[in-house]
Amino acid sequence: MLTDIDSLSLAQQVAQMVIVRASGYLFDHQIQYPAWEPPAAILHDWIANRGVGGVILLGGSAAELALRNQQLQAWAPIPLLISADIEEGVGQRFSGATWFAPPMALSDIAKTDLAKAIDYARQMGATIAQEALAIGINWVLAPVVDVNNNPANPVINVRAFGRSPEQVSQLTTAFIQGAQQYPVLTAAKHFPGHGDTAVDSHLELPVLQHSLARLESVELPPFKAAIAAGVDAVMSAHLQIPVWDADFPATLSAPILTEELRHKLGFEGLIVTDALIMGAVANRYGANEAPVLAVKAGADVLMMPIDPVGAIAAVCAAVEAGEIAPERIRASVERIWRAKQKVCGNAPVESSPHAWEAIAPHVTAEHLTSHLAQPVTRTLAADILETSQQVHLPIISRLHQPKWTEQSRNLILIDRATDCDYLTHSTPAIALPKSQGYQLQLIDSCTPDFPFGMVDAQHWQPTLMQLFIRGNPFRGSAGLNDTARAWFQFLLQSDQLQALVIYGSPYVVDAFLPELPADVPYVFTYGQMPEAQAIALTALGLKA
């Protein structure tokens, strides 16, 4: 059984409320974000000596992460909650596992076949939970239940299950029901709703001037549905809603977390903050004040505090000063205990080489190859991609006219090529056009401006334009950047656009289509991964 709460000191109880960021890689020299991911010695101290309650992981392959999780659990005196932002599948963050299209793909499917979309959402939830469990992740930080009704939203965007509260409620409920087939936790995020913002809370604090009636009709219904479906946790949003609290963002607001979520909505599970390193909170409240305010507001779990040790000390000091009641800490730890019992069962707490076998299976090649990226799950992911894809193939198409097939250019625009793990020399977006004689031209945010005005008729070149654009956290933009717009206009005006493929955001499609000539074929797919590239280009007629 888990250690009795009464046997823990105040500092140990508070530590159980802390989730720290960790690299999924095994070795320190592989750490990609040293400002957020501690080296092994510090991480070991936080887990083994300080007794933090869990970790959130990023980086590495699925196979490597399985080993990493065994290591982390072996360090822990109390079983850890091991979490990851795997809204699109384990393969979204950890290579080798199944990677699904973004949730908004199901929204498009629901427009014509709601039953199929709901079934896909349920299967998606089950697959993500099963694969997460197979590599030792016991807390799936999904689903996103925000209603993305703002096309300029840079942080939610295609992560949402739709643009209407009814659709989001139905699809997220199905996702949660699917995940509940396995002993993992789920998390509905970002309360009370991050879908109608044009500001990235990773960078700045969004402010929503919505009325109570608007919140009740649009933002809250999906959270009510998730709670009714038995979601294990609700994650707060770093945004301010003056009609509820004119002083604090939701993450630090007692009127929002305690009064609205805990009391009015009757949520009895874990209230978890969004990452406390995000600019919307960190820039205003700092490393130690934010954790104290979050606990006062009603948070049970502090996600990624800037300084975990300092955060624990600050909360303890607040308790000792009478600012936070000891019973308030105990109530949170009791909720954490119940969550850990669900995912860890009767895991022993004594230190032994076998202490964690009940939590994560012993990693073998056979175990991983029989639980990850199975044919049925890869087929499911491909079906969702293909069913949600938009294809326009005009009868008279530039792709098949002699004038448009010689010396063609494969123009790929991407945010940052150095950060891209789905575009290499062998992935379909590059390899398939190359096999047909296309010359590659890759442009990202680091590429010098193209001298459009210096191009004359002698340099006319039929161009397949491929755009990889979607909202990305810490970018502050929802997608359509100046470079993509400039290239699109140039190719149209010089009559060089042979075909268009857009990977990621449907809002970019909405912006381009009104100007697209009728004889220019196009494909839109929500996915950006290699499988999505292959399906899209095959639909366009480019085959190996």
**Residue 459 annotated in active site:** no
**Residue 247 annotated in active site:** no
Amino acid at 498: Q
Give me the helices (H) in 308-399, please.
308-320, 326-344, 365-371, 375-388
Q: Which of 190, 202, 210, 238 is the catalytic position?
A: 202
Q: Which of 274, 300, 371, 415 is the catalytic position?
A: 274
Element (H, E) at 187: strand 185-191
Contact 255, 265 (CB under 8 A): no
> Strand order in 497-504's β-sheet?
390-392, 522-525, 497-504, 463-469, 409-414, 439-443
Kindly report the length of the chain. 544
- Give CA–CA dist 214/212, Å, rounded: 5
* Residue 141 CB partners (closer than 8 Å, separation 6+): 56, 83, 84, 85, 86, 87, 187, 189, 235
Element (H, E) at 270: strand 270-272
Rounded to the nearest 10 degrees, the angle between the axes of helix 220-228 and helix 165-179 is 30
Three-state SS annotation for 199-212: CCCCCCCCECCCCH
* Residue 22 CB partners (closer than 8 Å, separation 6+): 37, 38, 43, 55, 56, 57, 68, 72
Gyration radius from the chain CA atoms = 24
- Strands 497-504 and 463-469 turn out to be parallel
Catalytic residues: 202, 274
